[in-house]
Amino acid sequence: MQQGRAAPVRSGLSPRVIALAGVMIAVVFVATRLIQVPIPGGYVHLGDIAIYFAAFTFGPLVGAIAGALGPTLADLSSGFANYAPGTFVIHGLQGLVAGLIGWRAGLWRMALAGLVGGVILVGGYFIYDFFILRVGTGTAIADVWFNLGQAATGAIIAIPLVLAVRKAYPPIETWAARRAWQEEIR
């Protein structure tokens, strides 16, 4: 048996993870900016679903990168640059924590991750609205309402989505793992 990798110490992430993180940034961006669904009392976007998907499937690292950069780029590109710093921290944290709790996990741990992620999302934006942007009590509360919708739909849809993708495309379960090779025994 030979040792798998002969590469020297690599700086930073492996090309596979860089590519994965990059594609997930794009996925989260598109889900946030371009896929919006009307619900009673407003609309939701699919950004949180995509972040949870990244975190549950690929773990805290990819979850945090895609969570931090995807929605931040979406804010920067749509005139909501004022929210970008908050978004970077809040969604990054959401992806990180959801990945720590729900990576390759079963239904209940994913649900817990969704709950904790929801608290980060709703609480985080309230703090950002109220103390940093100082938009006023009314608007901060209105934003809580919007983010509750986001958090709830995010978790409710992301969990069946993750389960469906695992069923449809099994290699995804080990996607971000290190690839080691072996010599065949002849």
**Site residues for another protein, window 29-68 (CB under 8 A)?**
29-30, 33-35, 37-40, 44, 46, 49, 53, 65
- The C-alpha atoms of residue 33 and residue 80 are separated, in whole angstroms, by 11
Q: Which of 21, 51, 55, 101 binds another protein (CB under 8 A)?
A: 21
Rg (CA), the chain: 18
Q: How far is the CB of 161 from another protein (least distance, A)?
A: 6
Q: Are 53 and 25 in contact (CB under 8 A)?
A: no
The residues pairing with 45 across neighbouring beta strands, listed in sequence order, are: 36
Residues in binding contact with another protein, number by CB under 8 A: 81
Q: By CB under 8 A, tell whether 97 contacts another protein.
A: no
Q: Which of 108, 119, 139, 145 binds another protein (CB under 8 A)?
A: 139
Complete DSSP assignment for 13-52: S-HHHHHHHHHHHHHHHHHHHT-EEEETTEEEESHHHHHH
Q: By CB under 8 A, tell whether 20 contacts another protein.
A: yes
Q: Which of 81, 119, 127, 148 binds another protein (CB under 8 A)?
A: 81
Task: Identify which of residues 108 and 169 has a Cβ nearer to another protein in the complex.
Answer: 169
Calculate the dihedral angle through the C-alpha atoms of 16, 58, 29, 51, rounding to the nearest 10 degrees: -170
Q: By CB under 8 A, tell whether 105 contacts another protein.
A: no
Task: Identify which of residues 46 and 96 has a Cβ nearer to another protein in the complex.
Answer: 46
Q: By CB under 8 A, tell whether 182 contacts another protein.
A: yes
- The C-alpha atoms of residue 96 and residue 60 are separated, in whole angstroms, by 4
Q: By CB under 8 A, tell whether 136 contacts another protein.
A: yes
